[in-house]
Homo-oligomer: A and B are copies of this chain.
Amino acid sequence: MKMSTLFTRTDKTAKEYDTINATLLTKAGFVNQLMAGVYTILPLGLRVLRKIEDVIREEMDAIGGQEIKMPALHPSENWKQTGAWDGVDVLFKIKSRTEKDYALGQSEEEVVTPLLKEYVNSYKDMPVAVYQIQNKYRDELRAKSGILRGREFGMKDMYSFHETPEDFLKFYEEVKGAYKKIFERLGLTAKVTEASGGSFSKKISYEFMVLTDAGEDDILYCDKCDFCINQEIAGDLAECKKCGAKLQKAKAAEVGNVFDLAQKYPKDFEFSFTDASGEEKYPFMGCYGIGTTRAMGVIVEKFHDENGIIWPENVAPFQVHLISLGEDEEVKNESESLYKDLMEKGVEVLWDDRDTSAGEKFTDADLIGNPIRLVISKRSLESGGYEVKQRNETESKIMQQQELFDKLIRS
């Protein structure tokens, strides 16, 4: 993409928010705040969000998840059926012109359970897992932490149904494995943390937590083993329950969660199935979330420096930030031809072709944070190539075209 055609621009003087993610994503032109907790995703941000979504989609498909798209507008009856109409304080409620009440989806158990009831009649129809990637709505008293806790936000939510608790647990482990892969691909190290089961489940649930000061949770984790627990259920626990080592305390942001919902929702909606012996039973249900816009925010919290964002390669809007310097015809032609060559080879390039100063181009490249900065100038051409610098390194080096192509197409 040519930067001259992009309608957004970096704004180094933009409003400072109380979180790094909102400040950097706004200054660099990835998101724009419409009101507290509600953001427009701009072209650069949409590229990142799509990559996050695609990673999630691939891993959900790999464990047999089937993608659907449920509505956000729900009939109040479904929420009354589960007690959540009055029980969930963040539920947005709407009254229509015809005096009908609706809820805006903040989670979709109330829709997915009656939906699956229509298709699952026998034990042969299970296990089954469906998921969607869709916006969710929460009537938060205070939106905070930039795009980490919004009133409208992107989420992948998956729901699974099983004949037995054992089969549920088997799938639950598969999801945990898939989640580890997802966060690894997103460049994040997530700790699997024991937490409370939420409003309806008395059981332990698991949260996937990334250590960051921007997080809203306090977790206790063990340095010696993988034990990790949310402080809200652990209290003043000082020693690891697994190995006895002293626990560390840290702020963390939740990027995913898995809940054991047992038979609550199937019972609420009278969703039963026939088992092999002809008996009618209720399925066991699990639910599994990952915040997609939140993940984008957490990545920024983890990967930045004083000059801007440092995107991990898998989610960067572009692999290469190409800068051409000066008015020299040879520089312009070489830039144009390299831009086309790289795109033909499938390399994503943001080309700063604007008529602006070298200083501004360098500052913008750092702020936007693509992994590789490529400079073409009279000087670099005289040195026989391009000046290449990784966003996370300070030294640049001169590369010939072949060496550059090898690097980019290998990586």
Instruction: Answer yes or no: A274 CB below 8 A from chain B CBs.
Output: no
- Is A35 within 8 A of B116, CB to CB? no
Instruction: Answer yes or no: A42 CB below 8 A from chain B CBs.
Output: yes
- Nearest CB in chain B: distance from A315 CB, A: 16
Indicate the member of A98, A119, A120 with the most B CB atoms within 10 Å. Answer: A119
Indicate the member of A9, A40, A42, A71 with the most B CB atoms within 10 Å. Answer: A71
- Is B35 within 8 A of A70, CB to CB? no
Assuming the contacts A32-B118, A71-B38, A137-B73, asked whether A64 and B96 have C-beta atoms less than 8 A apart, the reply is no
- Is A98 within 8 A of B7, CB to CB? no
- Is B120 within 8 A of A40, CB to CB? no
**Of A86-94, A179-187, A316-324, the one with at least 4 CB within 8 A of chain B:** A86-94
- Is B111 within 8 A of A34, CB to CB? yes
Please name all residues of chain B whose beta carbon is closer than 8 Å to the beta carbon of A32 when the two chains form the complex.
115, 118
When chains A and B are docked, how far (Å) is the Cα of A64 from the Cα of B2? 12
Determine the interface band of chain A, counting residues with CB < 8 A from chain B. 35 or more
Instruction: Answer yes or no: A399 CB below 8 A from chain B CBs.
Output: no
Interface of A is mostly: mixed
- Is B41 within 8 A of A69, CB to CB? yes
Please name all residues of chain B whose beta carbon is closer than 8 Å to the beta carbon of A9 when the two chains form the complex.
119
Copies of this chain, whole number: 2
Please name all residues of chain B whose beta carbon is closer than 8 Å to the beta carbon of A410 when the two chains form the complex.
none
Instruction: Answer yes or no: A218 CB below 8 A from chain B CBs.
Output: no
Instruction: Answer yes or no: A165 CB below 8 A from chain B CBs.
Output: no
- Nearest CB in chain B: distance from A138 CB, A: 10
Identify the closest chain B residue to A32 (Cβ). B115
- Is A43 within 8 A of B66, CB to CB? yes
Choose one: B35, B70, B118, B125; the contact of A75 (CB below 8 Å). Answer: B35
When chains A and B are docked, how far (Å) is the Cα of A39 from the Cα of B35? 29
- Is A111 within 8 A of B73, CB to CB? no
Instruction: Answer yes or no: A135 CB below 8 A from chain B CBs.
Output: yes
Indicate the member of A42, A74, A118, A125 with the most B CB atoms within 10 Å. Answer: A42
- Nearest CB in chain B: distance from A174 CB, A: 15
Assuming the contacts A5-B64, A69-B46, A73-B152, asked whether A141 and B38 have C-beta atoms less than 8 A apart, the reply is no
Please name all residues of chain B whose beta carbon is closer than 8 Å to the beta carbon of A104 when the two chains form the complex.
94, 104
Assuming the contacts A32-B118, A34-B74, A75-B35, asked whether A67 and B43 have C-beta atoms less than 8 A apart, the reply is yes
A-B CB proximity, top 10 nearest: A41-B69, A73-B152, A35-B75, A38-B71, A7-B128, A71-B152, A40-B70, A43-B66, A96-B139, A94-B94
* Interface residues of A, Cβ cutoff 8 Å to B: 5-9, 32, 34-35, 38-43, 46, 49, 64, 66-75, 89, 92-94, 96-98, 102, 104, 111, 115-116, 118-120, 125, 128, 130, 135, 137, 139, 141, 151-152
Task: Given contacts A7-B128, A94-B104, list 8 more A-B pairs with CB under 8 A.
Answer: A6-B66, A7-B130, A8-B119, A41-B68, A46-B69, A73-B137, A93-B94, A96-B139
